Amino acid sequence: MATYKEILENLSNLKASGKDAHVNMNPEHAARMRWQNQFQTGVDIAKYTAAIMRKDMDAYDADTSAYTQSLGCWHGFIGQQKLISIKKHFGSNDKKYLYLSGWMVAALRSEFGPLPDQSMHEKTSVASLINELYTFLRQADARELSALFRELDAASDETKPLIQEKINNYETHIVPIIADIDAGFGNEEATYLMAKQMIEAGACCIQIENQVSDEKQCGHQDGKVTVPHSDFLAKINAVRYAFLELGVDDGVIVARTDSLGAGLTKQIAITHEVGDLGDQYNSFLDVEEVSPDKMQHGDVLINQNGKVVRPKRLPSNLYQFRKNTGEARCILDSITSLQNGADLIWIETEKPHIGQIGAMMDEIKKVVPNAKLVYNNSPSFNWTLNFRQQIFDGMQEANKDVSSYDREDLMNEKYDSTELAIEADEKIRTFQADAANQAGIFHHLITLPTYHTAALSTDNLAKEYFGDQGMLGYVKGVQRKEIREGIACVKHQNMAGSDMGDDHKEYFAGEAALKASGDDNTMNQF
């Protein structure tokens, strides 16, 4: 990627060439605009962010404390504000990503209206949101650099070098997005076509799950149906070919297994010999041995280790796995995916339990030593209750007195100040670091946090503004906090691009420009 100095030099040479087309061009202004928009296409973004993810994966392999994080964002503005906040509080976006949640796409971005997470939303809405997120992130770059350029123009000779250095070393808001392609939205060709759209919009990392596309359910709902490994690997291949076709050789694939919660399959896997992949998949089926005289009309029978068995088939025409085989299937799924083109794995669990996750990862690492997890720190978990119960169980195993606690009622506020609750909160606080160290979790994400924060903040405002606090409900609860906490969008006109528009008007029209940033602009109050 060219530096700002190189861009300015190239454009100055272009102006000096004497072409009439550039007679009114100011190289400095053109260089500023180009530096404010460093990524010309989504594929440029995908290549840039894929390199970041690969670097971060190597860093984690060397040091498990170097894990990465993201939050799910359902709108470009939400993603933008998240990255602005991270830069404000921590000075850098290093190891901070965005997650594009299929759940929130379905619930908040579908033209059909709110939908459950069952792949019923428009396929194109995922790529559209990726494009929207990166549009807002590029605008965040342009806005911050615009402020630096204005600062440079107003600076004294003594301070100009410092500001120029900030411009030259500017850290972009463009970060990797882990994008949810659900179960591929159809056959492998459909998966390939959709993956291309997502990559062209900027996605460097695509997450795909092993559920049946037309039976897809949310990870934390019942009724999940998995597909044989050969079907899933064909879709992983489709995503990889999409990356390679577009020149994103470092593209990252996250293979998610829902087998822990999926007790059903739509297909019996094809198998050619004992112990092959199809045979291993079928070995988990709930079957019963049958003799010729016990066969019934319409039975589906398979030869399993020399025995004729009948898989349990439900009225839905789905086949059932044996109970308590979920973890073994997750381990097989994960190893198979990593050995066949996936870069990272995702095991969807029913609770946030490091011991459970770590035990599966230990088995996976026996075969794939550098296996790494992307993990869903899901809002579907009751984190408070789960961790309080884990502490309770640990105390009980250690023969400590737990008589003052009701395990089923540990969510109760009366326990908030107890030793148990304080210890549970500390375990929640350190969960990411502990799980990264003990359970191979490279990337921690929360799938749909901003769904909840939007609802919570709106509830707080509605309660105050429409109640007896009136306008004070907004002023005290929102605006005053924005001002005092340095929230950039308190100057909402600036955030929406008013100042950048003024800069451009001046570039285009010179002194004749009609600008919005005069003395009467109300943003001057902040």
The mean pLDDT of 483-511, rounded to a whole number, is: 90
Confidence tier at 220 by pLDDT (50, 70, 90): low
Provide the token pair at 474: 């907004």
Looking at the predicted structure, is the pLDDT value of residue 215 above 90?
Answer: no
pLDDT of residue 221: 60
Q: Report which DSSP code applies to 486.
A: T
Helices (H), 341-448: 354-365, 383-397, 419-429, 431-438
Looking at the predicted structure, is the pLDDT value of residue 455 above 80?
Answer: yes
Q: Which of 204, 205, 218, 330 is catalytic?
A: 218
In the chain, ranges of CATH 3.20.20.60 domains: 36-284+321-399+409-456
CA torsion angle for 55, 60, 66, 69 (degrees, to 10)? 80
Nearest-Å Rg of the Cα atoms of the chain is 27
Looking at the predicted structure, is the pLDDT value of residue 278 above 70?
Answer: yes
Residue 218 falls in the annotated catalytic set: yes
Looking at the predicted structure, is the pLDDT value of residue 471 above 80?
Answer: yes
- Residue 484, sorted as left (phi over 0), alpha (psi -120 to 50) or beta, turns out to be alpha
Provide the token pair at 309: 């068995």
The mean pLDDT of 161-174, rounded to a whole number, is: 95
- Euclidean distance between CA atoms 413 and 399, whole angstroms: 25
pLDDT of residue 425: 98
Q: What is the pTM of this model?
A: 0.94
Q: Which of 101, 138, 141, 147 is nearest to 121 (CA)?
A: 101
Looking at the predicted structure, is the pLDDT value of residue 1 above 90?
Answer: no
Looking at the predicted structure, is the pLDDT value of residue 472 above 80?
Answer: yes
Q: Which of 470, 517, 459 is nearest to 493 (CA)?
A: 517
Q: Which of 254, 414, 395, 274 is nearest to 338 (CA)?
A: 254
pLDDT of residue 306: 87
Q: Which residues contact 190 (CB under 8 A, 6 or more apart)?
A: 123, 184
How many Cα atoms are found within 13 Å in the side-chain-facing hemisphere of 321? 29
Max alpha carbon distance in the chain (Å)? 98
User: What average pLDDT is seen over the chain?
Assistant: 94
Residue, of 218 and 26, whose pLDDT is higher = 26
Looking at the predicted structure, is the pLDDT value of residue 366 above 80?
Answer: yes
CA distances 31 to 3, 37, 42, 145, 170, Å, are 10, 10, 21, 12, 14
Tell me how long the chain is.
526
The mean pLDDT of 290-299, rounded to a whole number, is: 88
The mean pLDDT of 377-401, rounded to a whole number, is: 96
**pLDDT 10s digits, 498-525:** 888 989 999 999 989 888 887 777 777 8
Q: Which of 135, 121, 140, 234 is nearest to 180 (CA)?
A: 121
Under a CB-based contact definition with an 8 Å cutoff, are residues 252 and 49 in contact?
no
CA torsion angle for 186, 315, 292, 322 (degrees, to 10)? 70
In the structure, how many helices (H) and strands (E) does the chain have?
20, 14
Q: Which of 82, 71, 72 is nearest to 136 (CA)?
A: 82
- Torsion sign (Cα): 416, 420, 424, 426: positive
End-to-end CA distance of the chain: 37
The mean pLDDT of 215-235, rounded to a whole number, is: 83
**pLDDT 10s digits, 17-57:** 888 889 899 999 999 999 999 999 999 999 999 999 999 99
Amino acid at 426: E
Amino acid at 387: F
- Euclidean distance between CA atoms 258 and 334, whole angstroms: 10
What is the CATH number assigned to the segment(s) 36-284+321-399+409-456? 3.20.20.60
